[in-house]
Amino acid sequence: KNEVEQSPQNLTAQEGEFITINCSYSVGISALHWLQQHPGGGIVSLFMLSSGKKKHGRLIATINIQEKHSSLHITASHPRDSAVYICAVISFQKLVFGTGTRLLVSP
C-alpha cells in the first residue's frame, strides 16, 4: 500500500464543473504539497499547507491533520486546468508522492 493515496486516478469534467481531488496519507508529515504537471512534464507547486485551508484564484486546498486527509478543489473548471495533479507529503524533510490524478476538462 502506498504511503500517499490519491483519488480518483482519472477524472473527466465539463467546463464549469466543480472538481475535487482527494489525498490520504499514512505517515507523519510536517506539511503537504499540491503540484500540477502539464503535458510535457514540468511540475509547478500550487500549494504547500500544514493546516486549515488555502485559496489561490479558483483553486482551494484543505487539510485535516487528524484525519490525514487533504483535498484540492477547482471551482468553475476550464480546459486549461487539464493536467495531472500530484499530492506530495513532507515527511522527515523528504517528499513522498502520490501517483497523481489525471484531470481532463472538456469545453
Partner 1 sequence: DVKVTQSSRYLVKRTGEKVFLECVQDMDHENMFWYRQDPGLGLRLIYFSYDVKMKEKGDIPEGYSVSREKKERFSLILESASTNQTSMYLCASSFLGLNYNEQFFGPGTRLTVL
Residues forming contacts to partner 1 in the complex (CB under 8 A) are 2, 4, 30-31, 33, 35, 40-45, 48, 86, 88, 90, 93-95, 97-100
Strand pairing category for 10-14 and 59-64? unpaired
Nearer to partner 1, 63 or 77 (CB): 63
Q: Find how far residue 39's CA is from the centre of its chain.
A: 16
Helix, strand, coil content of the chain in percent (nearest 5): 5, 60, 35
Closer CB to partner 1, residue 19 or residue 96?
96
Least distance from partner 1 to the Cβ atom of residue 16, Å: 29
Please tell me the distance from the alpha carbon of residue 107 to that of residue 59, in angstroms, as a whole number. Answer: 19
Choose between 3 and 17: whose C-beta lies nearer to partner 1: 3
